[in-house]
Amino acid sequence: MNNPLIQDLIDRYVNVSFQVHKKAESLIKAELGNDLTNDQHYVLSYIRKASGCTSTELADAFDVNKSAITAIISRMADRGLIERTRDVNDRRVVYLTLTGAGEELFRACQEKVHQLVESIITKFDETEITTFINTYEKLAQILDNKKKDELGE
């Protein structure tokens, strides 16, 4: 790559992406404490929003192996946060839903995360944060399309 401007932008992107990701994950983990891992929080959020799902859906949504999701789900089910229910027509299909305890823990943790994020985004004016989020959503879509292209979808 011979274009110094492009190289500088790439370097800046890689650097800031790493910093933001690591620091944000660390701050969220501090808010969640020992109640949940970040991954468990994301899983509870997804199941809650979807009003139930399968582990295959979770693996696809988080772009991880099904075995990684199975390990997370097992730990959460053992803690009574998630309930597994077999499909009546196909016993191989297992639906995941939040239990009352899972819903309660999710709400408490979500409130902490909400307060953290609010304390950060209120440092920007409305136009800045709206533009940033729109751009970040566009980046997510571009990355999603890139992943689909690589998989030949």
Per-block mean pLDDT, blocks of 10 residues, the chain (153 long): 87 95 95 92 95 92 92 95 92 93 96 96 96 96 90 78
CA distance 53 to 31: 26
User: What pLDDT does 92 receive?
Assistant: 87
CA distance 2 to 102: 53
CA distance 132 to 152: 30
Q: Is 30 helix (H, G, I), strand (E, B) or coil?
A: helix
User: What pLDDT does 22 receive?
Assistant: 96
User: What pLDDT does 150 receive?
Assistant: 86
Query: Tokens standing for 58?
Result: 């979770």
User: What pLDDT does 76 receive?
Assistant: 96
Whether 82 contacts 96, CB under 8 Å: yes
User: What pLDDT does 1 receive?
Assistant: 56
CA distance 143 to 146: 5
H or E stretch including 108? helix 100-121
Whether 83 contacts 97, CB under 8 Å: yes
Q: Is 93 helix (H, G, I), strand (E, B) or coil?
A: coil
What is this structure's pTM?
Answer: 0.84
CA distance 23 to 97: 30
